[in-house]
């Protein structure tokens, strides 16, 4: 099954690790440099800080209560301070408004205050209502409620918002540019991913799939409902589950990596595919592996999961569910309609494919590109050339960088192995646990151990 997971941009990555030697027992705390640290408890796009707790319906921070408060203040002429504080993030064609000031890799989301919204939206056609506005969450401790709004239909407003070192930047570009030692940027990335997924879903859910009538937003955009009184079908945001697995040959200490024809040169990754109706996750792992490579899989071990809101607009949020799959057969028969190639690779060869210097250079390049976009110097957001640099000696192969779950599946196996034995029940492991996450050790950036 073809999977819209990797593209040219999946060759670039953030500077998460540059040294992975002398492994220690699993730790949840990652130290990245002598100056900063981050508690890596989630993948990129996970760990959204404004979705950690959902307010109850009668709470002023809940979606319905916040929407009514927002409408009343938008319609009023008062400039008095209000509570809660409203923050609105504009999007254009799936791109969040972002700014970049100071030295790279610093970037931040372009949140608008309620005052900004009143001033900017008063003379434009965009309204703070309907399918263009969605509730993202709240932080009661900061007295703040967060929203996202789609301003794609108003070019003048887009031009106005794109001033003062702000621009609408591809989420993939921000993903690659994010420095994983920057906890704020990681949080911003998760918030932007959630917002994009909701807005893109609204864009494809304007009509009821049952009767064809228009839908209306409910609960401040958290769902929609058919406007037909005889139908009133409730429709909730779409999530497309995908299994992604590293197939392992235990006896010969090898891993199965594959290539698709649209990958950039030298890139290899895990097998992956969409789950079909009526099958379990484990069954999907076995079926996809068999269909694409002819390898029969026995034991399947859960690793972790990652939201992936940077796929095509028809699938606004994929959920990548990562597994280790233990091969029962070893002869490869590649389905050329799905893959360009698939090969067994030794642990040592895969270790060499963790090209940390290239990951860091790609992150710096993408961060500089964000800065140039925000300054209006360039609008080119194609990252296809960021990884294949001319200077320096390039590894013969590489795997996706630390922003992708594939990286963590592979690097965990390379440096730690997979601790779950066939006698253990993998489903008994805490699903939210990061005990198998590859990054659970103290790692020094640029060769400096903390």
217 lies in a domain?
yes
Tell me: do 184 and 218 sit in the same domain.
no
- Give DSSP secondary structure letters for 45-97: T---TTSSSPPPTTSTTSHHHHHHHHHHHHHS------SSEEEEEEEETTEEE
Tell me: do 314 and 439 sit in the same domain.
yes
Reply yes or no on whether the pLDDT at 72 is more than 60.
yes
Residue 432 is predicted with a pLDDT of 33
pLDDT band, residue 63 (cuts 50/70/90):
confident
Could you tell me the CATH number of the domain that includes residue 345? 3.90.79.10
Cβ–Cβ < 8 Å for 13, 402? yes
Tell me: do 437 and 290 sit in the same domain.
yes
What percent of the chain shows pLDDT beyond 90? 43
Residue 142 is predicted with a pLDDT of 77
pLDDT tens for residues 88-138? 999 999 999 999 866 555 789 999 887 777 666 665 666 666 667 888 988
Residue 3 is predicted with a pLDDT of 45
pTM (two decimals): 0.79
Domain boundary among 215, 238, 261: 238
Tell me: do 72 and 30 sit in the same domain.
no
Could you tell me the CATH number of the domain that includes residue 104? 3.90.79
54 lies in a domain?
no
Tell me: do 292 and 403 sit in the same domain.
yes
Residue 386 is predicted with a pLDDT of 47
If you average pLDDT over each of 58-67, 146-155, 330-339, 358-367, which comes out highest? 330-339
- Domain of residue 70 covers 63-198
Tell me: do 406 and 268 sit in the same domain.
yes
389 lies in a domain?
no
372 lies in a domain?
no
- Give DSSP secondary structure letters for 365-411: HHHHHHHHHHHTS------TTSSS-SSSPPPS-B---TTSHHHHHHH
Domain boundary among 141, 168, 198: 198
110 lies in a domain?
yes
Which has more confidence, 245 or 4?
245
Tell me: do 156 and 209 sit in the same domain.
no
* Mean pLDDT, rounded, for 20-47: 42
What is the rounded CA–CA span in Å between residue 338 and residue 59?
49
Residue 117 is predicted with a pLDDT of 73
79 lies in a domain?
yes
pLDDT tens for residues 337-362? 999 999 999 999 999 999 888 888 88
Domain boundary among 220, 238, 256: 238
Tell me: do 315 and 244 sit in the same domain.
yes
Residue 71 is predicted with a pLDDT of 65
Calculate the alpha carbon distances from 185 to 100, 109, 139, 386 in Å: 11, 9, 17, 20
Tell me: do 307 and 412 sit in the same domain.
yes
Tell me: do 212 and 163 sit in the same domain.
no
Residue 39 is predicted with a pLDDT of 33
pLDDT tens for residues 251-285? 999 999 999 988 888 999 999 999 999 999 999 99
Tell me: do 159 and 108 sit in the same domain.
yes
* Mean pLDDT, rounded, for 153-173: 81
Integer distance in angstroms from the first to the last C-alpha of the chain?
A: 43
366 lies in a domain?
no
131 lies in a domain?
yes
What is the rounded CA–CA span in Å between residue 443 and residue 445?
7
Residue 291 is predicted with a pLDDT of 97
Tell me: do 184 and 212 sit in the same domain.
no
**Tally of domains in the chain:** 3
């Amino acid at each position: 099954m073809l999977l819209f997971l990797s593209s040219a941009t999946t060759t670039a990555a953030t500077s998460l690790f540059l040294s992975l030697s002398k492994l220690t027992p699993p730790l949840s705390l990652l130290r990245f440099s002598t100056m900063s640290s981050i508690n890596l408890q989630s993948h990129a796009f996970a760990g959204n800080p404004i979705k950690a707790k959902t307010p109850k319906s009668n709470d002023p921070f809940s979606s319905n209560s916040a929407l009514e408060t927002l409408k009343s203040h938008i319609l009023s002429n008062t400039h008095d301070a209000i509570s809660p504080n409203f923050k609105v993030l504009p999007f254009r064609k799936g791109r969040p408004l972002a700014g970049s000031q100071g030295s790279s890799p610093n970037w931040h989301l372009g949140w608008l205050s309620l005052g900004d919204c009143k001033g900017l939206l008063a003379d434009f056609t965009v309204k703070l209502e309907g399918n263009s506005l969605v509730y993202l969450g709240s932080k009661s401790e900061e007295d703040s409620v967060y929203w996202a709004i789609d301003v794609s239909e108003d070019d003048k407003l887009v031009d106005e918002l794109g001033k003062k070192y702000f621009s609408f930047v591809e989420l993939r570009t921000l993903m690659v540019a994010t420095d994983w030692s920057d906890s704020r940027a990681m949080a911003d990335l998760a918030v932007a991913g959630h917002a994009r997924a909701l807005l893109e879903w609204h864009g494809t859910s304007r009509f009821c799939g049952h009767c064809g009538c228009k839908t209306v937003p409910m609960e401040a955009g958290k769902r929609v409902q058919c406007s037909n009184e005889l139908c009133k079908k409730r429709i909730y945001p779409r999530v497309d589950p995908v299994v992604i697995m590293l197939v392992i040959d235990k006896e010969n200490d090898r891993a199965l990596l594959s290539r698709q024809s649209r990958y950039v040169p030298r890139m290899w990754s895990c097998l992956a595919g969409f789950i079909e109706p009526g099958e379990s996750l484990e069954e999907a792992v076995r079926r996809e592996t068999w269909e694409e490579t002819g390898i029969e899989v026995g034991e399947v071990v859960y690793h972790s999961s990652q939201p992936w809101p940077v796929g095509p607009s028809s699938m606004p949020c994929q959920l990548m569910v990562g597994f280790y799959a233990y091969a029962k057969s070893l002869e490869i028969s590649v389905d050329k309609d799905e893959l360009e190639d698939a090969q067994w690779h030794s642990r040592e060869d895969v270790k060499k494919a963790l090209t940390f210097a290239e990951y860091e250079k790609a992150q710096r390049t993408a961060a500089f590109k964000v800065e140039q976009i925000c300054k209006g110097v360039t609008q080119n957001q194609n990252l296809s050339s960021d990884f294949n640099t001319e200077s320096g000696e390039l590894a013969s192969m590489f795997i996706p960088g630390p922003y992708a779950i594939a990286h963590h599946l592979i690097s965990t196996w390379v440096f730690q192995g997979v601790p779950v034995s066939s006698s253990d029940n993998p489903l008994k492991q805490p699903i939210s646990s990061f005990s198998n996450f590859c990054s659970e050790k103290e790692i020094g950036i640029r060769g400096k151990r903390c």
